[in-house]
Amino acid sequence: MIAKRTLRVDAHREGRWWVFEMPEIEAGGQAASFAELAREAQGAAAAYLDVTPDSIDVDVHVQGLDDALRTWADGEAAEARARAAQAAAAAQKRDAIVTLTQRYGLSAIDAGRVVGISKQRVYQLIGAKGNRERR
């Protein structure tokens, strides 16, 4: 197996082009789209180093788009917090149904009517609680 060399590629937009530099080998180039960037950098590095392109890996770092990338990362973090909050809310609702049926002895129909859901949903929640406890 060929040992691959990984090179850092710093890329930024200039007009309609992606311009890239590989500081480690003091080489660079350009690509028409971000999709082509890694392949172009890999080819340029291979030509500069006189090796086959498949012996080069590139690690692309986008420069100059910090505000948009920070906004994206903030959105990703907010989405993760929302998923966690939704999971916690679902667990609370399951616990409430289990309390109504087991502690207070309500039937699935009555428990569902008390909280405004169908008896089928009550059975799903009871089953989800039971499956969670068995793990």
In this prediction, residue 39 carries a pLDDT of: 96
**Helix/strand/coil for 112:** helix
Q: Read off the tokens for 110.
A: 């009555």
In this prediction, residue 48 carries a pLDDT of: 95
Instruction: Identify the CATH number of the domain in which residue 55 sits.
Output: 3.30.160.250
Using CB atoms within 10 A of its CB, is residue 43 exposed (0-12), middle (13-18) or buried (19+)?
Answer: middle
Write out the chain's pLDDT in tens, 135 residues. Answer: 668 999 999 999 999 999 999 999 999 999 999 999 999 999 999 999 999 999 999 999 999 999 999 999 999 999 999 999 999 999 999 999 999 999 999 999 999 999 999 999 999 998 865 544 433
In this prediction, residue 3 carries a pLDDT of: 81
Query: Model pTM greater than 0.85?
Result: no
Judge whether 26 lies within some domain: yes
Q: What is the domain extent for residue 125?
A: 83-130
| 59 plus 19 within the same structural domain | yes
User: 64, 94, 109 — which closes off a domain?
Assistant: 64
Q: Look at the chain and report how many structural domains it folds into.
A: 2
Angstrom CA distances, 101 to 29, 67, 127, 131, 135, stand at 68, 51, 12, 16, 21
| 10 plus 60 within the same structural domain | yes
Judge whether 91 lies within some domain: yes
Q: Read off the tokens for 28.
A: 């660079």
- Alpha-carbon gap, residue 9 to 15, rounded angstroms: 19
Judge whether 72 lies within some domain: no
| 9 plus 42 within the same structural domain | yes
Q: Read off the tokens for 14.
A: 């200039």
Judge whether 70 lies within some domain: no
DSSP state of 110: H
Judge whether 76 lies within some domain: no
Judge whether 73 lies within some domain: no
In this prediction, residue 2 carries a pLDDT of: 65
| 13 plus 49 within the same structural domain | yes
| 94 plus 124 within the same structural domain | yes
Judge whether 40 lies within some domain: yes
| 48 plus 11 within the same structural domain | yes
